[in-house]
Amino acid sequence: MLYWAAIFFVIALIAALFGFGGIASASAGIAQILFVVFLVLFVITLIMRAVRS
Protein backbone atom coordinates (compact mmCIF):
# COMPACT_ATOMS: atom_id res chain seq x y z
CA MET A 1 0.00 0.00 0.00
CA LEU A 2 2.88 2.33 0.75
CA TYR A 3 4.24 1.45 -2.69
CA TRP A 4 1.04 2.66 -4.37
CA ALA A 5 1.04 5.86 -2.30
CA ALA A 6 4.59 6.54 -3.49
CA ILE A 7 3.60 5.82 -7.11
CA PHE A 8 0.71 8.30 -6.99
CA PHE A 9 2.95 10.87 -5.29
CA VAL A 10 5.48 10.58 -8.12
CA ILE A 11 2.67 10.88 -10.69
CA ALA A 12 1.47 14.02 -8.90
CA LEU A 13 4.97 15.52 -8.95
CA ILE A 14 5.43 14.79 -12.65
CA ALA A 15 1.98 16.15 -13.52
CA ALA A 16 2.65 19.30 -11.50
CA LEU A 17 5.99 19.72 -13.26
CA PHE A 18 4.28 19.69 -16.66
CA GLY A 19 1.46 21.96 -15.52
CA PHE A 20 -1.43 19.50 -15.30
CA GLY A 21 -3.03 20.88 -12.13
CA GLY A 22 -6.13 18.69 -12.09
CA ILE A 23 -4.24 15.44 -12.53
CA ALA A 24 -1.62 16.53 -9.99
CA SER A 25 -4.18 17.35 -7.32
CA ALA A 26 -6.13 14.13 -7.95
CA SER A 27 -2.98 12.00 -7.73
CA ALA A 28 -1.84 13.81 -4.60
CA GLY A 29 -5.25 13.21 -3.01
CA ILE A 30 -5.12 9.50 -3.82
CA ALA A 31 -1.59 9.29 -2.44
CA GLN A 32 -2.69 10.95 0.81
CA ILE A 33 -5.63 8.59 1.23
CA LEU A 34 -3.49 5.52 0.58
CA PHE A 35 -0.83 6.75 3.01
CA VAL A 36 -3.43 7.26 5.76
CA VAL A 37 -4.85 3.79 5.14
CA PHE A 38 -1.32 2.38 5.34
CA LEU A 39 -0.68 4.15 8.66
CA VAL A 40 -3.96 2.92 10.14
CA LEU A 41 -3.24 -0.67 9.11
CA PHE A 42 0.31 -0.38 10.45
CA VAL A 43 -0.90 0.86 13.86
CA ILE A 44 -3.53 -1.89 14.03
CA THR A 45 -0.86 -4.47 13.23
CA LEU A 46 1.43 -3.10 15.95
CA ILE A 47 -1.37 -3.20 18.51
CA MET A 48 -2.33 -6.76 17.57
CA ARG A 49 1.29 -7.93 17.87
CA ALA A 50 1.62 -6.27 21.28
CA VAL A 51 -1.57 -7.94 22.52
CA ARG A 52 -0.57 -11.39 21.27
CA SER A 53 2.93 -11.37 22.76
For 1-53, what is each residue's pLDDT tens digit?
778 888 888 988 898 888 888 888 888 898 899 999 999 999 999 999 999 97
Return the closest-CA partner of residue 26 out of 39, 11, 37.
11
Model pLDDT, residue 40? 95
DSSP for 8-44, written as a single string: HHHHHHHHHHTT-HHHHHHHHHHHHHHHHHHHHHHHH
Going by the DSSP 8-state scheme, the letter that residue 3 receives in this structure is: H
Model pLDDT, residue 37? 93
